[in-house]
Structure 1
């Protein structure tokens, strides 16, 4: 009986995998600012008031914020750079992951184009065998990742997209991500010390987007994960004992928000006579919070209050080390398989955080210890 010859040039088909990247979105021109703000404040995850009040309150807040927001986007060239930066991240990530799969990255923004409905339609047309939902938020919050995933699930149901799906909830403790962030921070510290007068004390401010205190009090794990992420970066610095503080920026409503505020931290640095290295955390792409708030507003505040030096660490954007780290996170998530996972495969949040997606799914806590990444000096 003749033996069938195998053509060595014929390779087995590679799995077809769609990776959906989630981010906030931003207006691409001045006319888009008002509807972008309306979309933001109409989200029940953001404005937690009775449904019959929300549209009216959203319209009022958006109206009050439009002039300031338009000026901020004017300073950035007229619109947000978030989508172009996310597209660069998607292209770089796709190139890395395509070594292992027939891979394509898609983008789903929460409050401006491209929305989840467009991403669902594009993914469905591409016909993947598997989907990875990858939020570009290292730290989980019901106001960011949670809201984006809710929007995705609703649109996927409407669009009839039924494909086995892996959902990554957070990746704040990933070793490679932390190492890349620490490298960027260390470079900024070294540059600061090179130009400051010898002996000038230096403080690192880890500045995260703020959140109403009531949301954290009700079980959102965001603050816990922010502090763990900042501690993980600090542990990897050449001087892990450097003076540091986690603080919060971008307060948007009159209620009590997480403290200390970045404003207060900058003013305190002036009183203490310490120079600042400001590190954006919870941001992996430049946008108004980094390019306007940190680079312009807080720099001006620092000068006004006599801060002897103000330096801002870069955001990861499409830094090759960050893309390689994110690709590693994606590979491990896909290896875990369909369902919910963190970058460590299981639940990371303590039991006190009832709005952790693992808690909502009824899965036990892992007893995660902040000292795994480092404690604040």
Structure 2
């Protein structure tokens, strides 16, 4: 008699400090990741130590504005609970959360998954657009840990879903609501719609990372859903750090230009699926002040898709497709071709 099907779904996310004392070690873990800084050890360790020491006071101020901790873990827990409910008809399912740079760490979660003894594992990044700095990093950490602890259950990775219909529907809905709120604050004015994503150093994109192309695919799908012409919106990138050239245009510069033109502004986070410092502080507080100080008659920031029913339903569809091996041409990948590319992103970046 075959063993009952036990499905472990592992949600990958970035993580965030859960107390003021966690800010510096969180930053160190981030910059000590070879997918973020490609130097060999011990140089990477030294650079990570230097950057985390220098940036810790600034970051601590940011997190102080959110009560001293990141909300990303409770937000992700809510998403896991909603996904579990959406998969109630799939069999015995348990959702786990593996954060990349703070608790719960990948190794601890992998051991918990092994103890649960699943028959199969689905790795689900909460990064709709693939990047070597996010999904690839989380996948590498998981696979290295799984080998080390002897976690042998077959696993599939959902590498990306930039134009998944549920994700697009959720983004379109929150954009529509933000536009309505903006119209209430500045009736009759044509708003500047800015889709904002986390930036990347340009050299990473030039090396073949498909992230920017997939952000563009996400925004294009939302624009078609809403009937927006290309002149009605911009894609911009936020959170630049360091001296390297980053992809652009920058979100703050785009907001500044719209504010000086006296246009109301709607900002939509397109690559973040849960609230954290870059939405609650950078977009809401810092860029909100920038917009108002420079003449914007309204500034509205759409919420992240979070537990929007359409987004959760889309995640559930992705999990079911992975379990049914639909389009799985790469080991662990559930997309036959990543949007805008002739090959799966995992193959394209050499993973």
TM-score by length of 2: 0.94
| 2:195 corresponding residue in structure 1 | 206
Say whether 1:348 aligns with 2:319: no
Say whether 1:67 aligns with 2:57: yes
- 1:273 positional shift: 2.1
- Contact 1:349-1:356 within 8 A present in 2 as well: no
| 1:367 corresponding residue in structure 2 | none
Q: Taking structure 1 as reference, are residues 349 and 340 closer, same or farther at Cα in structure 2, changes over 3 Å only? A: farther
- CA distance in 1 between partners of 2:89 and 2:265 (Å): 41
- List per-residue Cα deviations over 1:74-118 (Å, max 9, x = no partner): 111110000011111111111211211210000100000001101
- Contact 1:333-1:345 within 8 A present in 2 as well: no
| 1:6 corresponding residue in structure 2 | none
- Contact 2:129-2:161 within 8 A present in 1 as well: yes
- CA distance in 1 between partners of 2:131 and 2:275 (Å): 19
- Contact 2:169-2:222 within 8 A present in 1 as well: yes
Report how many residues are paired: 347
| 2:271 corresponding residue in structure 1 | 282
Runs of 5+ consecutive residues of structure 2 not aligned to the other structure: none
| 1:147 corresponding residue in structure 2 | 137
- 1:271 positional shift: 2.6
Moved more, 263-272 or 145-154: 263-272
Say whether 1:170 aligns with 2:170: no
- List per-residue Cα deviations over 1:194-217 (Å, max 9, x = no partner): 22132x121110100010000000
- Contact 1:336-1:345 within 8 A present in 2 as well: no
Structure 1 counterpart SS, 2:300: strand
- CA distance in 2 between partners of 1:256 and 1:177 (Å): 30
Q: 1:333 aligns with which of 322, 326, 340?
A: 322
The 5 A counterparts of 1:88-103 are 88-103=78-93
Q: Please say which structure displays the higher CA radius of gyration.
A: 1
Q: 1:45 aligns with which of 19, 28, 35?
A: 35
The 5 A counterparts of 1:20-169 are 20-169=10-159
Cα-Cα RMSD: 1.8
The 5 A counterparts of 1:353-368 are 356-360=345-349
- CA distance in 2 between partners of 1:226 and 1:81 (Å): 24
- CA distance in 1 between partners of 2:180 and 2:50 (Å): 45
Structure 2 counterpart SS, 1:336: coil
Runs of 5+ consecutive residues of structure 1 not aligned to the other structure: 1-11, 363-377
- List per-residue Cα deviations over 1:183-232 (Å, max 9, x = no partner): 1111110121122132x121110100010000000000000001111111
| 1:183 corresponding residue in structure 2 | 173
- CA distance in 2 between partners of 1:25 and 1:347 (Å): 25
| 2:256 corresponding residue in structure 1 | 267
- 1:242 positional shift: 6.1
- CA distance in 1 between partners of 2:111 and 2:40 (Å): 32
Structure 2 counterpart SS, 1:163: coil
